[in-house]
Structure 1
Amino acid sequence: MSRKYRTPTISWSSIITMTLLTVLLETLGSSADAACTKYCNSGYTLSGSTCTRTVAASDNCPSGFSPSGGQCVDKDARCSGIISTGPKNGANGGDCCYGTKKTPATTSPGYYSCYPADEGPGGFYCVTSSTRGCYASHDPPSSCPSGSSADGNDCVRDLTYSCPSGYSIQGTTCTNTYAASTITTSTQCNRASPATDGCQWCSIISACLPDAAQCPASCLVTPQTTCTNIPSACQWCSDIGVCQKDTIGCFSSCLVATADSSICDASASCKYCGAIGVCQPNAGLCYTTCLAATAESNVCEGSTACKYCPTPESIGVCQPTNGGVCYATCLVATIEADVCGYSTECKWCPSIGVCQPESGTCWATCTPASDDKLGSGVYDECRLQVVPNTQLLHGADTRLPHAVHNGCAGRARDLPSSVDIFFLPHVGERLEVRGVA
């Protein structure tokens, strides 16, 4: 029988699973928001990875001055009354007129006098654009202190501003910034406004995500952007393209991921082959039987349903873990033609129905095969019976850990000297043994 490799089948359940997963990944990935990766203290806003708070700067004026109209004012510091704007002679122009104010006498239209001779009240006549009067005293206005300037009766100077400790000032605004903290707990996710407004805690993956996003049901369905950029109980495993739990670690290859079929199914780079229970790269073959997996011994060995029978102990073939036999030689594999055909060391000789080593001869008939040595040659066209350590003769202790034939006539060599075995025409499962010493 020639060696055959069957075309692997595709698991439709895996395709459906991956399709749904892809849709979910795209939905979640598009809603990922960096705002929910960091948190700030209450009252601070989050910008990127920085927490910021602004307050109005405090107004500050030196002693004697008070804030007014955007400047510091020392009211009436120069003059407690009025500063006359009239002519120097007659109206004490430029002087500060203060004390008791009385109404001057009108001597004629537009003319006023404080002199008693003009029936005035006495005092010093002073005038401004809005008032006039007779004042008890007058002197030059007082000078303004250093750093300030005169403004009518007042002394004025610029306001100074101050901020709370830790704040920087710009104009009339105080700003405090600090590096935002990474969200790792549910308390932090819902801790402060406005930095974490619109965020929700997803307990299954221990991550803080925007309210608009659906919480992933597991790490496996968490999108790469979320798995990579948002602190969580998951990690992105680039070797096989899947998001796994931190506690599991990352599988280094699809074959290693056979240990967890769900991880294999969720992987972007792998697919699970259910027939023999193995995780293969997307470009790899899904073998439908263990025998077909002989083509890749590592796949056979890594599967859950198969085992590899290596050379030189066996014949280089993949067999089922349960019930499959690792034959020691090609000859003893004769009872399973398929196993012989898939083996890397053997070939099936259909002419007389025997499994031979690749270098062996496929005899056309039984006659020349009769002189071939047992265990290393060719046998008859009748079916080979494997009788390991089985009593062959009634009442005798002779045991042969070799293959025994029922079929063609002829003598088999290299047997114990006390036994001659003749292969007679097929008589069921019985062996004719003669010449026992």
Structure 2
Amino acid sequence: MSQDFYRIRRMPPYVFAEVNAMKAAARARGEDIIDLGMGNPDGAPAQHVIDKLVEVAKDPSAHGYSASKGIKGLRKAQADYYGRRFNVDIDPETEVVVTLGSKEGLANLAQAITAPGDVVLAPNPSYPIHTFGFIIAGAAIRSIPAAPGPDFFTRLEYAMSYSVPKPSVLVIGYPSNPTAYVADYDFYVKVVDFAREHGLWVISDLAYAEIYFGDTPTPSILQVPGAKDVAIEFTSMSKTYSMAGWRMGFAVGNQTLINALTRVKSYLDYGAFTPIQAAAVAALNGPQDIVEANRQLYKKRRDVMVESFGRAGWDIPAPEASMFAWAPIPPAMAHMGGIEFSKKLLSEAQVAVAPGVGFGDEGEGYVRLALVENEQRLRQAARNIKKFLAKYGVKPNNSGNDEIDDK
């Protein structure tokens, strides 16, 4: 009996497994681990969203199978969101499907549109499902830059000229996970023009649309005229509304791709629990205070992390968006590589991070830090890191207010 399963064979060992095992063992020993590794929000949804969940769950008729593509009211609520936020007209019947979080949607779309041997263009480093969703489906990945700069389009042209067969799909995601890169409207215009010229489908991951820290809101690719001819976009309620465990997301855009995803999902699931979908409607249609509150929460945590870690001796570029910081390993320790650095940081400083190589080989030399601990815990992490770095000859920068020093 063969145990050499095709799709399992195409998946490499999980890069985060060793660090995660160390984290679990440390906690089992009673160690206080400050976990900046997983992007798991620590807040709760707004009370009116929880109230709606409870209200609908009390209805005996709400516990049967739901609708795989999402209840009508939720699809309309998402279409209305695109109208308010991006001034984009979306048909809730033909251009929206509800997904069990954006990750499930991305993976099922890959299964729907990919044949073994297809070539897919995806950023490196990137959120793992952007590549492995297609690898599991049998595709070959050709890496493109994660940063939306001039080299992005140079590499796209090169990939289209020298890939056999020609790439059929382009995956992008801004604000990006893990790098926190952001893209502007003009970038999306160029992407749409390129896709139309070369016959590419574009998959845009907009999960962090509402977590931006400047004055300019994050754009959507669907704002570009003609984008719906080539593009589908995934969004999520996980971070925006503090609903990560509820597994609620959406795909919006091109009807052909929406139909393909809807058909595959119809064979695989019956949709999210109806009370969760009803509560998601309440979140999208109700007061939006939590959206701004979460934005300010992550901005404050970003500022505390950058400032306190910097004074500890670890300079971290301030992300413009998302709930992550993409941090180069301190030069004095760069020779270790991301995995070894992450393991030492965990065992010697009790701070967990995600090694950058887990998001693609171009992530080597970096780690991802999630803004999921409160300000007090971030300052505690900075104190631990200060002592840790000192062991390796990294001097702190203690100019100005010295909040991170032990009392």
Q: TM-score normalized by structure 2? A: 0.20
Higher-strand-fraction structure:
1
Which one has a bigger Cα radius of gyration? 1
Query: Structure with the greater relative contact order (CA < 8 A, sep ≥ 6): 1 or 2?
Result: 2
